[in-house]
Amino acid sequence: MDKDVSGDTLKAITEARHGKDDAIKKLAETSGGEGSTFGQLLNNPFFTAGFGLAAIGAAVRYSSSGLRKGTELLRRRMLVDLEITRHDESYDWVLNWMTAHYQHQLAPIARRKDVGTLEYLMRRFTPALHHLQIKTAVSRTASGSEQTAFSLVPGHGRHIMRYRNAYVVVNRERIGKSFDSNGRPFETISLTTLYYYRQIFEDIFREAHEMAVQSTEGKTIVYTTRGMTWEPSGQPKRRRPFESVVLEEGLAERILGDVREFLDARTWYLDRGIPYRRGYLLHGPPGTGKTSFVQALAGSLDFNIAMLSLSQRGLTDDLLNHLLLNVPARTIVLLEDADAAFSNRRQQDSEGYSGANVTYSGLLNALDGVASAEERIIFMTTNHINRLDEALIRPGRVDMTVHLGNATEWQIGQLWDRFYAQHDPDRESRRRFIAKAKAAGLIDSISTAALQGVFLYNKDDADGAIAMIDQLAASHQDPKKPTIAVQ
């Protein structure tokens, strides 16, 4: 039985071999005979033994690689990519624009008659956002309560959107586990579309920028430091009217005129090789409107404010210079209490912290050194100008020094008109208030902040404000006594 099986097996192998040889011969005959190159290969025993098959496999592999490279080349020719990193200012602009674009694009599809048939079908089959991320903003109202607003922005992953007649693939991706100096993960957004529609990127960014500008129109952004960068502090604030801060007669207009003249003289500075920067020092008693005036000035010029305290923890000479070199555009730098950073240097708290590490030389170099920034406006405030070194307030570092004193008779009258003009048309109460303030010795000795506190307490009550002058005078003589005594 085993011999028969072995014989049958051998016979089958022999027949298969003969069949293979016959097939090769027929293929050779159809390829031009034994004299052709292809026929010679098929009759070659090395080729038929396996080398030919290996060559065919290699050819297939290389052709596949070439096809893949050709496909990549074709993709590069047909598609265009645009990448936005997390550190770019337009990153949040694009996310907010995408959300608004989807809402605007998908809202009208409920009624077919609102758009044409083709547009209706394209909107119907346009994919919606399926990966969302919540963005929370907390704002404080005038009454002191907090309002929380939620908005949804495209989350991580791929999104397909249609802009005009072009489809754009948006991929928001988190790169590894790296974080920046502020603890935010490193992310990118890439936009991909056909090369033919590459011009839509400029239109998208223009619309995103316009939407970002509209969200802050009529408002002032206040920046504070966070690590090595400037970050918006809360929501943008409504611009403060320039007339809301009452300084000595003509003083506010003189400062505003000087700033505007500086902004218009950029070419004049550059042509003469003078560093294009301007420094102001506002000094005077507390409550005379130094910081408030800077806020009103920024609102009048359509500028933002970058607030920096020289005594904040972790601030060094290098970090100070870096921050001043990277101030956001159209932003006034406000250095509050310039003297405090150096007068409190030796005082230690419970943790042994002894103040900032900013030196006088570091501050001077940041303001007017070789590596200092240009195209910059800086306002410094101090309650004690005598504590500042003369090198700090010399021209070039401080170009204009302004003293903001206590309320003059003219300022008291202007403040009164702002609060009670409609309740005192003949100004009789105004004259009574000023006369009583003179008798109490408050002219040029009381701050505008204290006066405003009295007016705020007596809203629409001119007689109440006049009656409170005695309390205001007593508080001025003894600062420990409250200005407003609740009966």
Bridge partner list, 259 = none
pLDDT for 120:
58
Question: Which residues have CB under 8 Å from 402's CB, separation 6+?
Answer: 251, 255, 280, 281, 282, 283
Which residue, among 231, 226, 163, 172, has the nearest Cα to 199 in the 3D structure?
163
Helix (H, G, I), strand (E, B) or coil at 245: coil
- The sign of the torsion formed by the CA atoms of 174, 179, 185, 187 equals negative
The pLDDT of residue 3: 46
Three-state DSSP at 260 gives: helix
With tokens 């420990």, the residue in question is: 480
**Residue indicated by tokens 């305290």:** 309
Do residues 45 and 17 lie in contact, with contact meaning Cβ atoms separated by under 8 Å? no
Q: Which residues contact 280 (CB under 8 A, 6 or more apart)?
A: 255, 377, 378, 379, 380, 398, 399, 400, 401, 402
For helices 428-439 and 469-477, give the axis angle rounded to 10 degrees. 30
For residue 369, count other CB atoms closer than 10 A to its CB: 14
> Could you tell me the two tokens for 71?
């496909």
Residue 252's pLDDT is 94
Write the burial class of residue 364 (CB in 10 Å: 0-12 exposed, 13-18 middle, 19+ buried). Answer: middle
**Phi, psi values for residue 93, rounded to 5°:** -60, -45
DSSP H or E run through 314 = none
Query: Among 227, 232, 233, which residue's Cα sits nearest to residue 180?
Result: 227
Q: How many CA atoms lie within 13 A of 14 on its CB side?
A: 6
Q: What is the pLDDT of residue 409?
A: 93
Task: Judge whether 84 and 91 are in contact, CB under 8 Å.
Answer: yes
Residue given tokens 């500008």 in the structure block: 213
Does the 237-403 domain belong in CATH 3.40.50.300?
yes
Q: Which residues contact 105 (CB under 8 A, 6 or more apart)?
A: 123, 126, 161, 162
**φ/ψ of residue 80, rounded to 5:** -135, 140
| Lookup result for tokens 């008693």 | 285
Q: Does residue 455 contact residue 419 with C-beta atoms inside 8 Å?
A: yes
pLDDT of residue 235: 78
Q: Which amino acid type is present at position 65?
A: S
Which pair of structure tokens corresponds to residue 213? 């500008």
Token readout for 404 is: 């903001």
Of the candidates 112, 153, 149, the one whose C-alpha atom is nearest the C-alpha of residue 131 is: 153
d(C-alpha 44, C-alpha 58), whole Å:
19
3-state secondary structure of 285: coil
Strand partners of residue 160: 169
Give the DSSP per-residue string, 37-93: HHHHHHH-HHIIIIIHHHHHHHHHHHHHHHHHHHHHHHHHHHEEEEEEETTSTHHHH
Q: What is the mean pLDDT of each run of 10 residues along the chain (487 residues)?
A: 52 55 53 54 57 65 69 71 86 85 62 55 59 66 58 77 84 76 76 87 90 85 86 84 92 95 92 90 92 94 91 83 89 86 54 63 81 82 87 86 93 93 91 92 90 90 90 72 49
- Given this model, what pLDDT does residue 1 score? 46
pLDDT on residue 316: 85
CB 276 within 8 A of CB 197: no
Q: Give ∠ CA 447-453-458 in degrees, rounded to 5.
A: 135
pLDDT value for 181? 60
